[in-house]
Amino acid sequence: MTDATVGSATGAAGGDGGASGGTGVPGPSSGGVAFSKPPGASGADGTGGTAGAAGASGASGGDASSGDGFGDDDGDGSGNTRRKAQRSFWKELPILIGIALVLALIIKTFLVQAFSIPSDSMQNTLQRGDRVLVDKLTPWFGSEPERGEVVVFHDPGGWLEGEPTPEPNAVQKFLSFIGLMPSSEEKDLIKRTIAIGGDTVECKKGGPVKVNGKPLDEPYVFPGDTPCDDQPFGPFKVPEDKIWVMGDHRSNSRDSRYHTEDANGGFVPVDKVVGRAFVVAWPVNRWSTLPIPDTYDQPGINDKAASIAASSAPLVMGALGAVPIVLWRRRRLTAGDTAR
């Protein structure tokens, strides 16, 4: 069995000034300073009535919110402030939904995707119905699977032949497409990486799985199962850019052991790997991380090629870190030359 996926101003002060101008009574002080006095008009004493009219029209363009007769903010002479109408929540909602869907699609495509576990081949590490989150980012930077990682990969060729695939409805298809729901159509499997390119892997009946001659202590194997008595194998040399995978429920997993006669010899090409499953996200009571077991850190398990790669990693990282510093320094020197 296998795993598939996974202020309002009225201008009244100016108006009062105009009215008072008609009777020769000085308008209120607020109307008297509401504008620049036009030629030929007294304004301050209200004698001609012109000041009041100007105050009412808001021609001076002053601060309408203070209610001192200054013109309103849109200069329409109405004396009423028009606040900019905010966009309705219901008009903004489709935009917010659109942005959320685009972000979800980007995350699903490049960062993290959810997968469901439909079988028992990874018990007890993973149970049927679990939802796992898979890291899809690191493979974009050239990272390859490591020993002990639980990985999701596309069917490398015939592993899921004859397995029923559930037919989702339109809503499920859409949610799967944007990554909000595990895909039920894609033919993906989930297994544990036992050996990587350059390793020698084997398992004899009654014995443990050995990687580069080192026996593995496998506490994750389903209780009651043997490491490989149902299907012994090897020794096999794992080709570069391929991995050897096995399910934790050894007696219930059609893994690499059962596909040694196919085109890939039972190995999974690295370019078929979707990413590493790093956490059980659902159901809540099953939440847990999926770390690499300590057995894969034992001395001597790494072959020579792997050791060389590991020792060169700090040098590569150092070189990558130096590039932006060099570019920044060159930019400063160039800027200095230009200034001179």
Write out the catalytic residue numbers.
Answer: 121, 191
- What's at 133, amino acid-wise? L
- What's at 128, amino acid-wise? R
Burial of 172 from C-beta contacts in 10 A (0-12 / 13-18 / 19+): middle
State the Rg of the chain over Cα. 37
Answer whether 2's CB lies under 8 Å from 126's CB: no
The Cα-based distances of 124 to 61, 152, 154, 236 in angstroms read: 77, 17, 22, 27
Is the peptide bond prior to 223 cis by the omega test (within 30 degrees of 0)?
no
What is the helix (H) or strand (E) element at residue 102, kind and residue range?
helix 89-106
The set of residues, in sequence order, having a beta carbon less than 8 Å from that of 9 and lying 6+ positions away, is 58, 63, 64, 65, 66, 67, 68, 69, 70, 72, 79, 80, 81
Closest Cα to residue 34, out of 8, 90, 72, 82?
72
The torsion angle over the Cα atoms of residues 219, 225, 227 and 231, rounded to 10 degrees, is -160
- Helices 50-57 and 12-23: crossing angle in degrees, nearest 10, is 170
Rounded-to-integer distance, Cα 147 and Cα 244, Å: 9
End-to-end CA distance of the chain: 73
Enumerate helices (H) and strands (E) in the chain, giving the number of each.
6, 12
